[in-house]
């Protein structure tokens, strides 16, 4: 999320940032209810005792994608400049194609909740009913966002719904992969692996943000070779806007952002049926959100 510009905005800008900062690329902190065993034994709950850790994880990534869909729960914590924001959510999503992750979700942060439906490149949001959100939505219950018109970055989880397929894609070709042990996640036996990714594997390929240092990713795989939980932690250095003060950072840089995300998956193969809200209840807010982001369209 664009944390460095979130505070001190106009009412419309705050509303646009609320509506979009409440969205994730996916993730949640490690949830409760997990038991752990790191006994150094070679037996693998995923049945991959004879496979290398990297091969076991790749097998799980492919098997999870082949499930086509799953129910997810997620949480993201973002810290910057002494401030913390936590987003929680759940929903049902397709997992096989990161470019088209149709789904429907409910996300909440700071007591505010947003309902979301994703159909292709269109994101529909039902925002909290406030005077400011009514201004953004022209008084209608829903807004739509053409996600191809919004510029994204690694630290910018605005304007993006949870994308389980993209999170799974991070499991490809890690620099390092090790088996940690066996855990139980929501009553399901799993094997825990830890991966190390290079910044280039996470970066978005633009100069807007820079991932600082190597990125640890933990993944828990069940006996059917499916990903049950994935966590990722990273530090991102956003570029500052030309008028933004450096606030003690290097010239031309924004405040570093620490992001911790976890995604849990279950109910694999559940059909995903998403319909757009009635057109009479929807306002296309793409242009307003682009303007609120300083005109940074894709």
Cβ–Cβ < 8 Å for 283, 290: no
Residue 222: the pLDDT is 97
CATH 2.50.20.20, domain 3-292, yes or no: yes
Entry pTM = 0.75
Q: Residue 11: what pLDDT?
A: 41
Q: Count CA atoms within 13 Å of residue 10 on its CB side.
A: 10
**Domains of the chain by residue range:** 3-292
pLDDT value, residue 178: 96
Length of the chain in terms of residues written: 298
- Assigned token pair, 226: 């499916």
Question: In angstroms, what is the C-alpha Rg of the chain?
Answer: 19
Helix runs in the chain, H state only = 11-21, 53-66, 131-137, 164-169, 199-202, 286-292
Q: What is the pLDDT of residue 167?
A: 87
pLDDT one digit per residue (tens) for the chain, 298 residues:
333 333 223 344 444 444 444 443 233 222 333 344 444 434 344 444 446 999 999 999 999 999 999 999 999 888 888 888 888 999 999 887 666 678 999 988 888 888 999 998 899 999 888 777 888 888 899 999 888 887 654 434 444 567 788 889 889 889 999 999 999 999 999 999 999 998 887 765 544 567 888 899 999 999 999 999 999 998 888 765 544 444 544 444 567 888 899 999 999 999 999 999 999 999 998 888 888 766 555 5
The answer to whether the beta carbons of residues 98 and 276 sit under 8 Å apart is: no
Q: What is the pLDDT of residue 265?
A: 96
The per-residue pLDDT for 200 is: 80
CA distances from 234 to 27, 74, 154, 201, 219 (A): 12, 16, 10, 12, 15
pLDDT at residue 220, as a whole number: 98
Contact 96, 103 (CB under 8 A): no
Cα–Cα distance measured from residue 32 to residue 55, given in angstroms and rounded to the nearest whole number: 28
């Amino acid at each position: 999320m664009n944390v460095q510009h979130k505070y001190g905005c106009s009412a419309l800008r705050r509303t646009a940032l609320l509506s979009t900062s409440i969205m994730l690329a996916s993730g949640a902190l490690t949830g409760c209810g997990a038991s752990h065993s790191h006994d150094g034994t070679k037996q693998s709950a995923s049945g991959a005792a004879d496979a290398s850790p990297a091969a076991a994880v790749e097998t799980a990534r492919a098997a999870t994608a082949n499930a086509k869909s799953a129910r997810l729960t997620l949480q993201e914590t973002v810290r910057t400049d002494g401030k913390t924001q936590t987003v929680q959510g759940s929903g049902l999503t397709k997992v096989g194609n990161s470019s088209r992750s149709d789904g429907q979700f409910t996300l909440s942060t700071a007591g505010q909740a947003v309902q979301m439906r994703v159909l292709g490149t269109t994101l529909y949001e039902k925002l909290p009913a406030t005077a400011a959100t009514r201004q953004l939505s022209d008084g209608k219950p829903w807004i739509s966002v053409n996600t191809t018109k919004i510029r994204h970055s690694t630290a910018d989880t605005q304007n993006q719904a949870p994308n389980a397929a993209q999170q799974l894609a991070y499991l490809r070709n890690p620099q390092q992969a090790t088996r940690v042990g066996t855990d139980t996640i929501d009553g399901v036996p799993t094997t825990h692996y830890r991966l190390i990714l290079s910044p280039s594997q996470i970066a978005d390929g633009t100069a807007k943000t820079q991932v600082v240092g190597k990125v640890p990713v933990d993944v828990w795989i069940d006996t059917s070779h499916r990903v049950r939980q994935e966590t990722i932690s990273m530090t991102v250095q956003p570029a500052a806007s030309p008028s933004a003060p450096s606030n003690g950072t290097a010239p031309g840089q924004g405040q570093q952002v620490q992001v911790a995300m976890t995604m849990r998956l279950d109910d694999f193969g559940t059909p995903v049926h998403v319909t757009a809200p009635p057109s009479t209840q929807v306002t296309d807010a793409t242009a307003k959100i682009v303007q609120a982001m300083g005109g940074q369209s894709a």
